[in-house]
Amino acid sequence: MAKLVRAHVYVSGYVQGVFFRASMREVAQQYGVKGWVRNLPDGRVEAVLEGEEDKVLKVIEWARRGPPLARVEDVQVVWEEYKGEFKDFKIRW
C-alpha cells in the first residue's frame, strides 16, 4: 500500500487572478489528491494536500510551475501528519 501523506503548501509570486486555485483543484482531482486551496491576503496561495505520497508530490511539482498565466517565485512545503479528513478537493474562500 502506498504511503499516505499530508502537505501544507504556500505558493508565492504572481499566483492570484490567474486561475491558480481552479487549476490546482483540477490537477489534484486528476491524481485523486484531497484537501483544499485558497488565496491569502498577502498575495500567496495556500493549500493542504492529502493522499498517496507520489500523487501529492505530482501536485506539488505542478504548483512549482502553476497555470500558464502564473509566475511562481517560491513554493514552501510543510509536511504534516496524515489525517484523512477530506473527502474531495475544494476551493476555499
**Total domains, the chain:** 1
Domain that holds residue 15: 4-82
Residue 1 has a pLDDT of: 78
- Give a three-class secondary structure readout of 5-58: EEEEEEEEEECCCCCHHHHHHHHHHHHCCEEEEEECCCCCEEEEEEEEHHHHHH
User: What CATH number did the domain enclosing 12 receive?
Assistant: 3.30.70.100
- What does each of the 93 residues of the chain score in pLDDT, given as a tens digit? 799 999 999 999 999 999 999 999 999 999 999 999 999 999 999 999 999 999 999 999 999 999 999 999 999 999 999 999 999 999 999
Could you give the residue numbers annotated as active site? 21, 39
32 in a domain, yes or no? yes
Q: What predicted TM-score, i.e. pTM, was given to this entire model? A: 0.97
